[in-house]
Structure 1
Amino acid sequence: MIRKSGRILTAVLTGVLAISLVGCGSQNQSQGQSSTSGTQQADQAVTLTGAGSTFVQPLLLQQVAEYQKSHSNVTINYQGGGSGFGIQHLSDSTIDFGATDAFMTDDQLSKAQGGKVLQLPVALGAVTLSYNVPGIPEHIKISPENLANIYFGKITNWNDPALTKDNPDVKFPDLAIIPIHRSEGSGTTSIFTHYLSAISPDWNTKVGSGTSVDWPNPSGKALGAKGNPGVAGAVKSTSGAIGYIELAYALQNKIPYAYMLNKDGKWVLPSLEGASADAASFQIPDDMRVNIVNGPGAAAYPISGFSWALVYQNQTDKAKGTALVNFLNWALHDGQKLAPTLSYVPLPDNLVARETAMLKTVTSGGQPFLK
């Protein structure tokens, strides 16, 4: 069962996250993790700026709030904006860290002005197909073929026979389908379109996958919205709408979402267990760049993905580098305890160990922050 968060995050999800955090004046040693060298003096203030993924923003907010209980004098400002926004500003070195649900490509990495970028998975979650159709159940079934045809614009009404075939006990209304998609470069879009490309050769050939695609819109009814909060809001306020959003947003906004037919032919709802089962079937390479959609397994939920923190391996500002490495080290260890409360999967211990080793390669003037 998914545990729903008791907190209302909608207001903060649409704007800038600016929370004062405890700094790294004293060495912070989480259970089972390395201590941090080069920490700030207690009276030294440091401000970090990040931007990018709205997929991970609910978890990041909670991690920041918990971190501030035992630390002071580091301020973290985080603006959502979408994964493409985070990648661009990290590449331009106008922020201290980025967050993305679509790993940076070789071409993007080559254009990063600050040198080598490390990509650290910080969250694992599921993408729902959420809808607003009066009079139907909270969870209907949408097959891969039908989903692709909805976004192709070939299935245009909720009472289409293809949908009723999978839901024989549901009386669908005569209501136009309004497909909602992201309007900006989005890692959630990358997860969703990689899934569509995996299950539909036509989609793979004609539309493809990525943070931005040329969305089919033959009926002229498809709509774009910014961020996971924007898509959630558009679905909730538009009769007949369907859209893809991270599970936390569906739960927090009480938006119905669909069963999906996985690779093993099982109907599954998005869940922590389903996302974990999907990820378990993939080998994660040394650079951490992997798409995990449509994995095998009876329990696997097929539209799942990681969110990565983006950091430069060489930190030119020692104080900022210390603060950033300390926070990420905490988030990968103690901070994972917060993941299930917001419907994210805690990262497995073996992956956290590999990422901790990567953090130990982050340096300033050739000196590592973690030992």
Structure 2
Amino acid sequence: MKRSTLGRALVLPTTAALAFGLVACGSANEESGSGGVTINGAGASSQEAAQNAWRTGFLENNDGTINYDPVGSGGGREQFTTGGVEFAGSDAYLDDEEVKAAQERCGEGGFVEIPAYVSPVALITNIEGVDSLKLKPGTIAKIFNQKITKWNDPEIAESNPNVDLPDTTIVPVNRADESGTTENFVEYLKAAAPEQWPHEVSGNWPVDGGEAAQGTSGVVQAVKNGSGTIGYADASRAGDLTTVEVGVGDEFVQYSPEAASAVLDVSERVEGRGEHSFAFDLARDTTESGTYPIVLVSYLLACSNYDNADKATMVKDYLNYVVSAEGQKVAAEQAGSAPISDDLRSKVQPAIESIGSSNSGS
């Protein structure tokens, strides 16, 4: 399955990250093992709300400063592999060249790569008189490829026998900007409906026509303000719009945190990248009951070894908090993400515990 490569060209200076820092101190923080140090991170904007929640929660009981600059996945990976930040967030796992760069940067022990943020991507609709809708993968592909153009098309009706579908023109709404959400949605279409979706995977929308909108908020507004519209957006932004139940095997699945995170549990880990890399080729074409395959999985990147022992401890403590049940719950409440499973948590925690320093002091 093709690995996403979105945003590789976007790189901003790490100094910009300082505007996004959170600081905590006081007697409650004396129990921290990381001390009053500063660590910098940069990367995926999809993680921004979750990073804010994680940093706030972590710094309630830990002394120090954590900065996160939502510069974009490509910028975060670049800053991490060149040593500009201690950790990074990315909506795609490292490619082969980046793996080599990360290994060179991190040295002995290699790098840590763990999925920490899972977000279902909802198909949102605004069709007069229709408050529930089921669509198979091939039908979804034909709609967004503009091969099915009416909501009462027989193929849609077959999956919705009890729905009064109107003779209304379908208006597909896509992102106008290069987008990780687009890339993950297109990756799903390519895997689940390859015959109906002939386009290559990219963060840029490949089909001309339809309606384009800037950013997630733009897509949501275009769907809400239109008639017969359908678009794709982070599920946390769906609001009161009707969302599609997606065909998976012989059933139709509504997105939920449990269904979204279940995809990782049925996906294959990418091998040959080091023992602390937990990159997954997502099973977009899964037929496993109860899974929702249209998801964005965002990773955290760190080194197993840092020159500064205090920073190493801070990074390890912070990542442990992020993947903890508490950290995942905070992100779910504040950012609408899907908590990772206990099984996956148990697998990635040894990688986090590997983080340390070859130096005894700072």
Instruction: Tell me, yes or no, whether TM beats 0.5.
Output: yes
2:164 counterpart residue number: 170
Q: Which segments of 5 or more consecutive residues in structure 1 lack a partner in the other structure?
A: 1-15, 29-35
1:46 counterpart residue number: 38
Cα pair 1:119 1:311 within 8 Å, conserved: yes
Among all aligned residue pairs of Structure 1 and Structure 2, give the percentage whose two residues are the same amino acid: 22
Q: 1:315 aligns with which of 306, 320, 332?
A: 306
1:22 aligns with 2:24: yes
- Per mean C-alpha deviation after superposition, the further-off stretch among 313-322 and 241-250 is 313-322
Q: Per-residue CA shift, 1:318-348, capped at 9, x if unaligned? A: 5444332221111122313335535544323
Q: CA deviation at 1:167?
A: 2.8
Q: Report the CA distance shift for 1:315/1:62 in structure 2 as closer, same or farther (over 3 A).
A: same
Q: Per-residue CA shift, 1:268-301, capped at 9, x if unaligned? A: 1001232244333334455311113232322222
Q: 2:253 aligns with which of 253, 268, 276?
A: 268
Q: 2:201 aligns with which of 205, 209, 227?
A: 209
CA distance in 2, matches of 1:265, 1:368: 58
Q: 2:220 aligns with which of 202, 221, 232?
A: 232
Q: 2:283 aligns with which of 288, 292, 299?
A: 292
Q: CA deviation at 1:353?
A: 3.0
CA distance in 1, matches of 2:179, 2:166: 33
TM-score normalised by the chain length of structure 1? 0.75
Cα pair 2:306 2:356 within 8 Å, conserved: yes
1:131 aligns with 2:91: no
Aligned partner letter, 1:311: A
Cα pair 2:29 2:61 within 8 Å, conserved: no
Cα pair 1:118 1:313 within 8 Å, conserved: yes
2:243 counterpart residue number: 257
TM-score normalised by the chain length of structure 2? 0.77
2:330 counterpart residue number: 338
Q: Report the CA distance shift for 1:176/1:102 in structure 2 as closer, same or farther (over 3 A).
A: same
1:5 counterpart residue number: none
1:103 aligns with 2:93: yes
CA distance in 2, matches of 1:156, 1:90: 45
Size of the aligned set, in residue pairs, is 330
Q: Report the CA distance shift for 1:235/1:122 in structure 2 as closer, same or farther (over 3 A).
A: same
CA distance in 1, matches of 2:73, 2:39: 21
1:32 counterpart residue number: none
Q: 2:351 aligns with which of 329, 333, 358?
A: 358
Q: Report the CA distance shift for 1:281/1:312 in structure 2 as closer, same or farther (over 3 A).
A: same
Q: CA deviation at 1:261?
A: 0.6
Aligned partner letter, 2:40: L
Aligned partner letter, 1:247: A
Aligned partner letter, 1:22: A
CA distance in 2, matches of 1:230, 1:327: 33
CA distance in 1, matches of 2:78, 2:221: 26
Q: Report the CA distance shift for 1:315/1:132 in structure 2 as closer, same or farther (over 3 A).
A: farther
Q: Which segments of 5 or more consecutive residues in structure 2 lack a partner in the other structure?
A: 1-16
Instruction: Give the alignment's Cα RMSD to 1 decimal.
Output: 3.3
2:116 counterpart residue number: 122
Q: Per-residue CA shift, 1:11-31, capped at 9, x if unaligned? A: xxxxx9835243696444xxx
Q: Per-residue CA shift, 1:38-70, capped at 9, x if unaligned? A: x22xxx45252322141x444333222322332
Q: Report the CA distance shift for 1:108/1:232 in structure 2 as closer, same or farther (over 3 A).
A: farther
Q: Report the CA distance shift for 1:60/1:235 in structure 2 as closer, same or farther (over 3 A).
A: farther
Q: Report the CA distance shift for 1:129/1:74 in structure 2 as closer, same or farther (over 3 A).
A: same
1:4 counterpart residue number: none
CA distance in 2, matches of 1:260, 1:275: 12
Q: Secondary structure at the match of 1:292?
A: coil
Q: Per-residue CA shift, 1:197-222, capped at 9, x if unaligned? A: 22222366x32335x256122xx224
CA distance in 2, matches of 1:240, 1:171: 11
1:180 aligns with 2:174: yes
Give 1:47-62 correspondences, 5 Å limit.
48-54=40-46, 56-62=47-53
Q: Secondary structure at the match of 1:114?
A: helix
Aligned partner letter, 1:108: E
Q: CA deviation at 1:173?
A: 5.3
Give 1:134-149 correspondences, 5 Å limit.
134-137=128-131, 139-149=132-142
Q: Secondary structure at the match of 1:70?
A: coil
